[in-house]
């Protein structure tokens, strides 16, 4: 994957949606930049609900699709979403782009921020003086594919979460 | 209450157990520090047992986990006993599972059985 060029603050759908994705994805939701993690989670929840209920999204009850599998899958997807968006705000100089789409491989999240610093990978044990550092390992654990691409104005993190 | 809001309410029972009921979403925006403060305050009391009712948590990410871990640490420091009460929602459960922190806490199936 090649991404270049600076990313405009408040990135448009085009800015975050042009990463060589195929246009065959049945559902796509990229709309501006969420103002916080809850807003991003709401977007992903709607996207996955639309997938469960068909492309029109009229059936919004995810649990009816497949109770056991879908519940955990949705929970995992929302966890990854929350961690990535939170990192962008707290450590990445702000969220500059957010896109979520479902394709044949699963749920593809693209989260862009304004920092060229790699995500923190340090894991501290609960016994340590400072408690923290669970977010990024959690993201790595729950994603099938995770790529970080740097560009002069920041970075894009693309995360694939399997939905089956 | 909106899904992205958090409610942390602390009660103290007649026998001195501190019960902290958490409802809503535990993330970096929703005031996890409020939970961490409530836990630290509970740990500072001499009665020894704190029960956190997590059954009303709809979503939690690592910010919520950090608040709980910090509360656990404070209870260890003061010799208090921290019990997390369910039933846990799928989001809360996955957070503990995926981070491997289930073993770090003492759990009760329900708040009613957490006082024993």
CA distance B58 to chain A (A): 10
CATH homologous superfamily of B48-116 equals: STAS domain (3.30.750.24)
Cβ distance B78 to B44 under 8 Å? yes
Question: For B92, which residue in chain A has the nearest alpha carbon?
Answer: A75
Q: Which of A37, A42, A72 sits opposite B90 (nearest CB)?
A: A72
Helix or strand (DSSP H, E) at B14: none
Distance of CA B97 to the CA centre of its chain: 16
Determine, for residues B101 and A126 on separate chains, whether the beta-carbon distance falls below 8 Å. yes
Q: What is the pLDDT of residue B45?
A: 85
Chain A residues in contact with B103 (beta carbon < 8 A): none
Distance of CA B20 to the CA centre of its chain: 7
Per CATH, the number for A28-161 is: 3.30.565.10
Determine, for residues B62 and A90 on separate chains, whether the beta-carbon distance falls below 8 Å. no
Chain A residues in contact with B27 (beta carbon < 8 A): 37-38, 82, 86
User: What number of residues does chain A have?
Assistant: 164
Q: What is the ipTM of this complex?
A: 0.92
Q: What is the pLDDT of residue B1?
A: 53
H helices of A6-66, where? Answer: 13-17, 37-53
B78-114 pLDDT, tens digit per residue, is: 999 999 999 999 999 999 999 999 999 999 999 999 9
Q: How far apart are the C-alpha atoms of B22 and B26, rounded to whole Å?
A: 9
Exposed/middle/buried for A61, CB within 10 Å: 0-12, 13-18, 19+?
Answer: exposed
Domain residue extents for chain B: 48-116
A123-140 pLDDT, tens digit per residue, is: 555 444 455 688 999 999
Q: How far apart are the C-alpha atoms of B95 and A120, rounded to whole Å?
A: 19
pLDDT grade, residue B14 (50/70/90)?
confident
Nearest to A154 by CA among A87, A64, A68, A66: A87
């Amino acid at each position: 994957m090649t991404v270049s060029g600076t990313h405009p603050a408040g990135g448009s759908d085009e800015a975050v949606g042009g990463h060589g994705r195929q246009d065959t994805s049945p559902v796509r939701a990229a709309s501006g930049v969420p103002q916080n993690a809850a807003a991003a989670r709401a977007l992903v929840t709607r996207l996955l609900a639309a997938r469960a209920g068909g492309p029109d999204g009229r059936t919004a009850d995810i649990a009816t699709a497949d109770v056991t599998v879908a519940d955990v899958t949705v929970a995992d997807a929302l966890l990854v979403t929350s961690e990535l968006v939170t990192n962008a705000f707290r450590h990445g100089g702000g969220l500059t782009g957010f896109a979520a789409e479902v394709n044949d491989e699963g749920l593809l999240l693209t989260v862009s921020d304004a920092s060229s610093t790699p995500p923190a990978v340090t894991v501290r044990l609960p016994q340590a003086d400072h408690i923290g550092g669970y977010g990024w390992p959690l993201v790595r654990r729950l994603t099938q594919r995770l790529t970080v691409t740097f560009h002069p104005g920041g970075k894009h993190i693309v995360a694939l979460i399997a939905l089956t | 209450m909106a899904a992205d809001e958090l409610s942390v309410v602390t009660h103290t029972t007649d026998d001195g157990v501190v019960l902290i009921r958490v409802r809503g979403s535990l993330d970096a925006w929703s005031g996890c520090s409020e939970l961490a403060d409530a836990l630290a305050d509970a740990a500072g009391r001499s009665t020894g047992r704190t029960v956190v009712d997590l059954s009303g948590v709809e979503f939690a990410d690592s910010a919520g986990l950090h608040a709980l871990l910090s509360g656990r640490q404070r209870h260890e420091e003061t010799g208090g006993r921290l019990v997390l009460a369910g039933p846990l929602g799928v989001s809360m459960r996955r957070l503990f599972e995926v981070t491997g922190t289930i073993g770090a806490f003492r759990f009760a199936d329900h708040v009613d059985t957490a006082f024993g």
